[in-house]
């Protein structure tokens, strides 16, 4: 199935925050690595500048590796956005449980998945009735939950706004 406009919007919102935070982190890191040596160079301390640049590049590489692993989910979501494919299935083999952080939806078949839900969403889902779920192909981002034809995710988001 193809992603519709609402699905694309939902994925873009999930990509936007990590992208902005990663950009701010990168700018701060680059400023630290290039501004401080520039100041030292202007004060005629070239040997200290060379050592600082070497240490700075080493630290940059060490910090960019974890940042890449953190942003990996956003990269996968972006690939889903570009490919535009989603999976749709209907299942009765699910469970909604209350945990410390909120509610969790656990799907056992046809795919074994776990999603955190909005607090108001479990009230709208009738227990022991099958649900229809749509998710992206690679990142398994939840796009649609319904027991009829209305997207309960959108309904809860409209109520929260």
Q: Are strands 94-98 and 142-146 parallel, antiparallel or unpaired?
A: unpaired
Strand, coil or helix: 47: helix
Give me the percent of the chain exceeding a pLDDT of 90: 17
How many C-beta atoms lie closer than 10 Å to residue 103's C-beta? 18
Confidence of residue 158 (pLDDT cuts 50, 70, 90): confident
When comparing pLDDT for 35 and 45, which is higher? Answer: 35
List Cβ neighbours of 53 (8 Å cut-off, separation of 6 or more). Answer: 33, 37
| Burial track 52-81 (b if 16+ CB lie within 10 A, e otherwise) | bbeebeeeeeeeeeeeeeebeebebbbebb
- Residue 145 has a pLDDT of 92
For residues 104 and 33, what is the distance between their CA atoms, to the nearest angstrom?
43
Confidence of residue 133 (pLDDT cuts 50, 70, 90): very high
Q: Structure pTM?
A: 0.71
Q: What's the pLDDT tens digit per position in 30-42?
A: 777 777 767 777 7
Instruction: State yes or no: pLDDT of 45 exceeds 70.
Output: no
List Cβ neighbours of 28 (8 Å cut-off, separation of 6 or more). Answer: none
Average pLDDT over residues 119-146: 89
Domain boundaries, the chain: 5-83, 86-160
> Would you tell me the crossing angle of helices 46-83 and 5-42 to the nearest 10 degrees?
170
Q: Are 119 and 153 in contact (CB under 8 A)?
A: no
């Amino acid at each position: 199935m193809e992603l519709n406009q609402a699905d694309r919007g939902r994925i873009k919102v999930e990509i936007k925050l990590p992208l902005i935070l990663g950009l701010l982190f990168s700018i701060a890191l680059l400023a630290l690595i290039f501004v401080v040596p520039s100041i030292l160079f202007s004060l005629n301390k070239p040997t200290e500048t060379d050592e600082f640049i070497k240490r700075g590049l080493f630290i940059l590489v060490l910090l960019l590796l974890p940042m890449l692993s953190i942003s990996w989910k956003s990269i996968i979501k972006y690939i889903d956005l570009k490919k535009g494919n989603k999976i749709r299935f209907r299942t009765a083999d699910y469970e909604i449980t209350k945990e410390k952080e909120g509610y969790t939806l656990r799907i056992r078949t046809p795919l074994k998945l776990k999603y955190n839900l909005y607090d108001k969403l479990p009230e709208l889902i009738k227990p022991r009735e099958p649900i229809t779920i749509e998710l992206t192909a690679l990142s398994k981002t939840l796009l649609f939950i319904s027991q009829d034809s209305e997207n309960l995710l959108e309904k809860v988001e409209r109520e929260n706004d």
